[in-house]
Amino acid sequence: DGNYTETTIIISNSEPSVDSVTISPSTAYNDTVLTCSATASDEDQTLSPTYEWTVGTATYGGSTLDLSTTTVMPNDGVICTASVEDDAGATDSMTTSITVDNREPSVSGVSISPVIVVTNTLVSCSSTITDTDGETPSSTVDWSVNGYSIGTGNSLQLDNTIVSVGDLLECT
């Protein structure tokens, strides 16, 4: 029979790693559906990341987030954290973020009243301003005659030192 020897070794756990995290699309508005994607690695096992979104003080789970269900507004940050945990309880996480973009408000239906204007008329400019992002835009009215600025404000009192018959009055 001969000498018998034996040795033992304890198999160690390899630490999991979140290697990358991305948010798509890279341009987002407050009604965009975002997707967070991550790659993770672990020599011992295959891992599936879990996702947590942070918008202000609120948190949401899942790999997608519909921003229209949140209170996010333009210029707010949205954070996605991808986390992994292996069977031995070892963890890793990584975050990425985007800033919500702002869309320009639109102006329509610009009109001057009254419809018939003479040199001594008080005129008013009105318009409809909409903002797809849900913000309350502010507006400034500029008045011009024949391309030259003559004042600002929603209303303007005309007189013969400002306008003459045949002039082109414009509000923007």
Q: Within a 13 Å sphere around the CA of 13, how many CA atoms are in the beta-carbon half?
A: 10
The backbone torsions φ and ψ at residue 68, rounded to the nearest 5 degrees and listed phi first, read -70, -15
pLDDT of residue 138: 87
The beta strand positions in 15-147, using DSSP E, are 17-24, 33-41, 50-55, 58-61, 64-66, 77-85, 91-99, 106-113, 122-130, 142-145
Are 171 and 150 in contact, with CB atoms under 8 Å apart?
no
Between 114 and 12, residue with greater pLDDT = 114
Report the percentage of the chain scoring pLDDT > 90.
89
Task: Give the pLDDT band (50/70/90) at residue 153.
Answer: very high
Min mean pLDDT across 4-13, 70-79, 82-91 is at: 4-13
pLDDT of residue 1: 64
Are 67 and 78 in contact, with CB atoms under 8 Å apart?
yes
Q: Is the pLDDT of residue 129 over 90?
A: yes
Mean pLDDT (whole number) for 30-59: 96
Report the percentage of the chain scoring pLDDT > 70.
99
The backbone torsions φ and ψ at residue 117, rounded to the nearest 5 degrees and listed phi first, read -120, 135
Task: Give the pLDDT band (50/70/90) at residue 6.
Answer: confident
| Mean confidence (pLDDT) of the chain | 94
